[in-house]
A and B are shown apart, each in its own frame.
Chain A
Amino acid sequence: MRTLAAPEPELAKRLLLGVRYEDRLRAGLLVPPRGVVETPVASLPELCSLLEPDARCLPAVHFDTLVEWIGGVLGDTELAGRIREAVREGCYVDGCRAAHALISERLAQARSCAGAV
């Protein structure tokens, strides 16, 4: 799998710090048998946690919305594009796993970048 290009410090900071309240990604958790729990997301660490595979609950997120949010609101067009490609094939959970893998990679890069700065 191709690796993501290292992010600029400004982008890394934005990914880690998150966005304004009104710009958060509307998402949720699907937890049986409780139902859908609203779980808005403001930053990449939160998104990574939401999408992490978990046998007990599923992330509730629409991939188109996710890609738009990462590209538009977070401003990470490369990550958005790679996720768009990655979720094209397979089932919903496969898509979540693929998105999670990419976001994990980007998160590690952002943390490394922020640490270096």
Chain B
Amino acid sequence: MSGFAGKILHVDLSARRFERIPTMRYREYGGGYGMGTALFWDLCRDKTIRDGRRPENVCCVMASPFSGTNVPSAGGRCEVSGVGVGFYPISWFTRSNFGGHFAAMLKQAGWDGIVLTGRAASPVWLDIRNDRVALREAAWLWGRDAWDTQQRIQERVAAEEEATDGWRAVPEGQRVGLTTQPPAVLAIGPAGENRVADACLVHGAGNAAGQGGFGAVWGAKNLKAVSVVGTGAVPVADPAALLQARFVAKERYAADAEDPDLHAWGNLDRAPEPVVFVKHPTDERRTSACHGCINGCKARYAVGYGNEVTCNTSAWYVPFAARHAGGDKDKVAEIVLRAGDWLNRYGVNSYGLSRALHWLESLHRRGLMGRDGPIRSDLPWEDLGSLPFARELIEALATRRDIGADLADGWVPAALGWGRREDWEKGLLPFPYWGVPEHGYDSRAELEWGYATIVTERDINDHGVNFIFWDLNMALAYGREPRIDAATLARRVAEKTTGDPAGLDYGDANMYSEAVARLVRWMVHYNRFWKNSALLCDFRWPNLYSSRTPDLRGATASPDAGEQVFWNAVAGEGITFEQGLERGRKILNLQNAIWTLQGRHRDLARFARYVYETPFDRFRFPFYHWPTRDEDGAWAYRSVMGRRLSEDGVERWKTRYYRLEGWDPETGWPTRPTLEALGLGHVADELEAAGRLGAAAG
């Protein structure tokens, strides 16, 4: 059984019992979200729960066959799933993931994943050393931040192992394995302990599973951390084929590290660079990458702060720090990076803050929040932008103090509780779907992002098609000719996706079309299997087009370095790329069955009011171009700014999407024929028993 370790660890926290689940039973789901979904279906006794903090919740932490291998930008991702916390109107069964080395170490210890059920009677941490596992008392860790917790566990494990010249002995069956590595630890901070909606799971300095509130899920389970150390290896079916595919990916598709093309189109050929949005605090820095990654999107600094503060964690506080520092970029960098450290230590997700902090400031400025306002807050709002304010705010959120008490169940629920529905509906609190923040791409302009989110369960956070926005608009901003013309780009993307270039037409006349529905459907199926189950990193995959190759074709689905090439080399299967997509469709259907039992109906799958009522003019940025066709069918890049979505149009689009999926268009629920065709007849039975099986087309 290549690629897989062969067993999944089931931890019943209530009974303090362990069970080994044969991975073979779930192999077709790939790993990650797919396996997590199937395990949830089988092990969750009450699938109607709407709050992940309930003890019935089943939380899975899953690797994939790629974990621990050198498949490019895939070896280090780890997926977390279960019912989430803090969404609106219902906290759906959902997912998050994080990078680093945890998944690789889990595989090296001989496990494909961990399933957490029940609730421990008192705080515990899970100690995994190869196949020896133990639930250990964690009162001494409770109250500590995520960094301190990791360090203390590593020290405790090291003290308990025999070590010689830097090598540690770890039990390995009847033998002893040797390693130089400390255990990889995934932990919660105070936010998780206090079960607040924005609580993360944190691994290393800044690898965090942020969306979904899984820190709160662990806190509710009284689980402080999981540590794992392994001395084994990941069995690869065809190492030569894997190496060959990696060489091809490097030579044909990836950026030339010695002479990178800084204006390349495509994502696999993007030059490696830390994703940090403030000035680096020092030149004495080095890149930090997840296991086996060709990229290295994080940075570590000799100054001792800001390590692995990446992406949004390095962006959310910039506007406020810039004001506080009077535009001094060195000061801004220090404030933002240190604030990022506090987020990682307390284990707080930055995404809600990045959208909602402007709203909180406006509440304060309007006299609605403060020491004398109707929303009581004693935080020093006049000091917003400073590092002390950031820390105080983060601590309040993490410990349910001050406004943190109201925000502990989510941002939109808090807004409604404060009587600020109007702020949400008008977009002052820009949380357009499911009570979660807009990612940075507005659904009125960037169709696939919004649509894929409302037909699933959370901010889709999938940059596969979205890289078109970046490649095109950065070229326009710098006055460069687009590397690929609109018609060719649409054809190239169509070849990799639905076969129909019309799906790439983001023009007003095509916004609600079946072609767009087909593109979104492809994207969701890809997302469910290749990205979130096989665990290819979103920053690099799918690679739909590439200015590096003579024919402008990307690596996705290619016969030499496509996703299926890596899969078959590692897992020893012989699947096609399309069979992977079909697995994604099965996973999606199983997830929709869970959402349906939780209370999903198509009437809930709506955007916030402002998406329908207010034209998109994001900060007057002069352009937001996408490929479009004119009345004669001629392709060109045009701006799609200034428009809004029509409610009727979105409803028509949803109907098209549900029909394509074989779901009941009246309800959005799965149907028996669709489920049975996917081998999910037992799922149809359970839905029917609950009175929530969709009506099949007549």
* Chain A residues at the B interface, C-beta cutoff of 8 Å: 18, 21-22, 26-40, 42-43, 45-50, 52, 56-58, 60-65, 90-94
Contacts and interface: CB of A to CB of B under 8 A. Distances in A.
B173 interface: no
Given A37-B440, A92-B479, A42 B323 contact: yes
A8 to B, nearest CB: 21
Contact of B318 (A36, A37, A92, A93): A37
A56 B273 CA distance: 9
A33 B476 contact: no
Contacts of A61: 619-621
B620 A46 contact: no
Given A34-B440, A42-B323, A62 B621 contact: yes
A56 B274 CA distance: 10
A29 B618 contact: no
B470 interface: yes
Contacts of B621: 28, 30, 36, 60-62
Interface stretch (B174-182, B326-334, B514-522): B326-334
A48 B619 contact: no
Interface of B: 273, 275-277, 311-312, 315-316, 318-319, 322-323, 326-329, 332, 354, 358, 361, 365, 439-442, 463, 466-467, 470, 473-474, 476-479, 539, 618-623
A28 B622 CA distance: 11
A91 to B, nearest CB: 3
A64 B621 CA distance: 10
Nearest to B477: A92
Contacts of A91: 476-479
Contact of B478 (A29, A39, A65, A93): A93
Contacts of B619: 26-28, 36, 38-39, 60-62
A37 B354 contact: yes
B459 to A, nearest CB: 11
Residue with the highest number of chain B CB atoms closer than 10 Å, among A21, A26, A35, A36: A35
Contacts of A90: 479
A23 to B, nearest CB: 12
Contacts of B358: 38, 40
A36 B440 contact: yes
A92 B472 CA distance: 13
A80 to B, nearest CB: 16
B539 A48 contact: no
B323 A46 contact: yes
A36 B618 contact: yes
Contacts of A64: 620
A57 B473 CA distance: 12
A33 B618 contact: no
A33 B315 CA distance: 11
Contacts of A58: 474, 477
6 contacts: A29-B277, A31-B440, A33-B539, A39-B322, A40-B319, A92-B622
B311 A34 contact: yes
A30 B193 CA distance: 35
B469 to A, nearest CB: 9
Contact of B315 (A37, A40, A45, A47): A37
A93 B622 CA distance: 11
B327 A49 contact: yes
Nearest to B364: A21
A35 B315 CA distance: 10
Contact of A93 (B273, B328, B354, B479): B479
Contacts of B328: 45, 49
Contacts of A22: 365
A62 B642 CA distance: 13
Contact of B319 (A18, A35, A39, A56): A39
Contacts of B477: 30, 58, 91-93
A91 B365 CA distance: 37
Residue with the highest number of chain B CB atoms closer than 10 Å, among A30, A32, A93: A32
Contact of B327 (A33, A34, A45): A45
A51 B621 CA distance: 13
A71 B620 CA distance: 17
B197 to A, nearest CB: 21
A64 B440 CA distance: 23
Given A27-B619, A62-B620, A39 B318 contact: yes
Contacts of A21: 361, 365
A37 B319 contact: yes
Contacts of A43: 323, 326-327
Contacts of A45: 326-328
Contacts of B622: 62-63, 92
Contacts of A60: 618-621
Given A31-B440, A37-B354, A38-B319, 11 more contacts: A28-B619, A29-B315, A32-B470, A33-B275, A34-B439, A35-B440, A36-B619, A49-B327, A60-B619, A91-B478, A93-B479
A57 B477 CA distance: 11
Contact of B329 (A52, A63, A65): A52
Contacts of A94: 479
B275 to A, nearest CB: 7
Contacts of A46: 322-323, 326-327
B439 A35 contact: yes
B322 A56 contact: no
B426 to A, nearest CB: 15
Closest 6 CB pairs of A and B: A35-B440, A91-B479, A62-B620, A49-B327, A45-B327, A28-B619
B277 A57 contact: yes
A31 B315 contact: yes
A13 B650 CA distance: 50
Contacts of A50: 322, 327
B542 to A, nearest CB: 14
A35 B470 CA distance: 9
Contact of A48 (B327, B354, B474): B327
Contacts of A30: 473, 477, 621
Contacts of A27: 619-620
Contacts of A62: 619-622
A56 B323 CA distance: 20
A33 B620 contact: no
Contacts of A39: 318-319, 322, 619
A40 to B, nearest CB: 6
A56 B275 CA distance: 8
A38 B329 CA distance: 17
A76 B618 CA distance: 25
B280 to A, nearest CB: 10
A64 B623 CA distance: 13
B620 to A, nearest CB: 3
Nearest to A35: B440
Contacts of B623: 92
B276 A35 contact: no
A43 B327 CA distance: 9
Nearest to A20: B365
Contacts of B474: 32, 58
B439 A56 contact: no
Contacts of A35: 439-441
A74 to B, nearest CB: 15
Given A32-B474, A38-B619, A93-B477, A49 B319 contact: no
Nearest to A95: B622
A65 B477 CA distance: 17
Contacts of A33: 275, 311, 463, 466-467, 470, 539
